[in-house]
Amino acid sequence: MELTIADGMAAPHRRRDAWHRLTVREVMARPATRAAAAQACPCDQFTNHGQYVRCVVQLANADPNLPKQCRGAVKKCAARSTCGKPGAVACCRTKNGRTKCSLKRSADTCVAPSGGSACVSQLSRCCDACVDGGCAGGTTSTTSTTVGSPSGAFAN
């Protein structure tokens, strides 16, 4: 039974090995996986997102040390990146304690949800750009909004 990747989480499979129940972030955190991808497919060298993703997919498919069950996580991480998208950013939006990453065309379009916060990560891939409550690896900007009445008549 193979792993399936849904919402960034790998579903468990029957074999009990080191790759059992890994998230996309955990697969990409493996030093060998990250180093190989960074060396063979440097993000800043691509002006086309499809070319970057193709490079990572070819690398993942050719890597004999990467279990087949984990190739999907590597591919998903590449697909949800700003590589090859000039000016694009990974935007981490937090509301009600839940942080989600989305790719935005520019930093100005990374806006906080009502009653939440948002930050632009310095990292290029959604699989490692956000942590609970904000951005991993530092931020370039942070914004937040609160909901209240304009006159202050309805205090929180």
| 3-class DSSP string for the chain | CCCCEECCEECCCCCCCCCCCCEHHHHHHCHHHHHHHHHHCCHHHCCCHHHHHHHHHHHHHHCCCCCHHHHHHHHHHHHCECCCCCCCEEEEEEECCEEEEEEECCHHHCCCCCCCEEEEECCCEHHHHEECCEECCCEEEEEECCCCCCCCCCCC
Question: What pTM value is reported for the model?
Answer: 0.70
Question: Residue 89 in contact with residue 126, Cβ under 8 Å?
Answer: no
**Per-residue tens of pLDDT for the chain, all 156 residues:** 222 222 232 333 333 344 455 666 566 656 677 777 888 999 999 999 999 999 999 998 888 877 787 888 888 889 999 999 999 999 999 999 999 999 999 999 999 999 999 999 999 999 889 998 899 876 655 555 544 444 444 444
Q: What pLDDT is attached to residue 113?
A: 95
Interatomic CA distance for residues 114 and 144, integer angstroms? 8
Q: Residue 2 burial (CB < 10 Å; 0-12/13-18/19+)?
A: exposed
How far is CA 52 from its chain centroid?
15
Question: Residue 81 in contact with residue 125, Cβ under 8 Å?
Answer: yes
Q: What pLDDT is attached to residue 22?
A: 61
Q: What pLDDT is attached to residue 119?
A: 96
